[in-house]
């Protein structure tokens, strides 16, 4: 489990905590019930960074409101397009200009760009006890063994790192059986 030595808890509510460091406040949402308290603020966020196997592509395939920047970049990579990562930034702005909500994965260059350009974003990831659930999701969607080996045990490993990242304005922690659509379709 993580040790949050950099966190100062300023308020604790039922299922979420509000944390602050360096005068920046973050809101951590742990369940759908608490989501309603922040849905108006979350509507202002146009970029959501989602962990592997949380349902990014499924959400974007089923709703025209969202644009899957991660899938778009992966398609470029598979086509052998050079510098595909650098192409994601202009594509993000293009799609936002069309009114789309951007869905992407945790890519460090992208997170750094958002932070450096003061673009508010929300991260969505699983609680640390969800490793087996996410490995099963990857198998069910047809991910190959190399992909599962790379990302399958990252749920718990990445939890501390994502909790200690103070760049996002909001964080949504998915519980067992939850997907990004469970939250984002209630907001948008």
**pLDDT, tens only, 49-62:** 998 888 999 999 99
| Sequence-ordered list of residues with C-beta below 8 angstroms from that of 5, at least 6 positions apart, any chain | none
Segments making up each domain of the chain, as ranges? 45-187
Single out the residue of 32, 30, 26 nearest to residue 15, CA to CA.
30
The residues facing 49 across adjacent strands are: 104, 123
C-alpha span between 90 and 115 (Å, rounded):
16
Q: What is the pLDDT of residues 47-106, one digit of tens each?
A: 999 988 889 999 999 999 999 999 998 888 888 888 777 889 999 999 999 999 999 999
The model carries a pTM of 0.82
Class in CATH terms, 45-187: alpha beta
φ/ψ (deg, to 5) at 158? -85, -15
Please tell me the distance from the alpha carbon of residue 42 to that of residue 53, in angstroms, as a whole number: 22
Q: Over 60: is that where the pLDDT of 12 sits? A: no
pLDDT in tens, 124-162: 988 777 777 877 877 888 878 877 776 666 666 677 777
Nearest to 152 by CA among 168, 166, 164, 141: 141
Nearest to 92 by CA among 48, 153, 34: 48
Q: What does the pLDDT read at residue 21?
A: 47
Per-residue confidence (pLDDT) for residue 5, from 0 to 100? 38
Rounded mean pLDDT of 99-116? 94
> Does pLDDT of 8 surpass 70?
no
Confidence of residue 181 (pLDDT cuts 50, 70, 90): very high
Q: How many residues does the chain have?
A: 188
Q: Sign of dihedral through CA atoms 46, 47, 51, 57?
A: positive
Give residue for tokens 């778009």. Answer: 72
């Amino acid at each position: 489990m993580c040790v949050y030595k950099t966190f100062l808890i300023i308020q604790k509510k039922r299922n979420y905590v509000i944390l602050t460091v360096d005068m920046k406040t973050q809101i951590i949402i742990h369940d759908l019930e608490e989501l309603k308290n922040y849905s108006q603020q979350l509507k202002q966020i146009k970029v959501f960074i989602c962990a592997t196997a949380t349902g990014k592509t499924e959400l974007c395939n089923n709703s025209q409101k969202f644009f899957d920047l991660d899938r778009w970049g992966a398609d470029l990579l598979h086509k052998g397009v050079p510098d595909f990562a650098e192409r994601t930034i202009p594509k993000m702005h293009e799609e936002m200009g069309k009114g789309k909500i951007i869905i992407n994965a945790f890519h460090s260059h992208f997170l750094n760009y958002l932070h450096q350009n003061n673009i508010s974003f929300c991260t969505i990831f699983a609680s640390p006890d969800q490793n087996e659930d996410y490995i099963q999701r990857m198998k069910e969607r047809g991910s190959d063994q190399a992909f599962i080996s790379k990302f399958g045990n990252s749920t718990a490993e990445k939890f501390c790192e994502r909790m200690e990242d103070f760049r996002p304005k909001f964080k949504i922690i998915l519980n067992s059986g939850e997907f990004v659509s469970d939250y984002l379709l209630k907001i948008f």
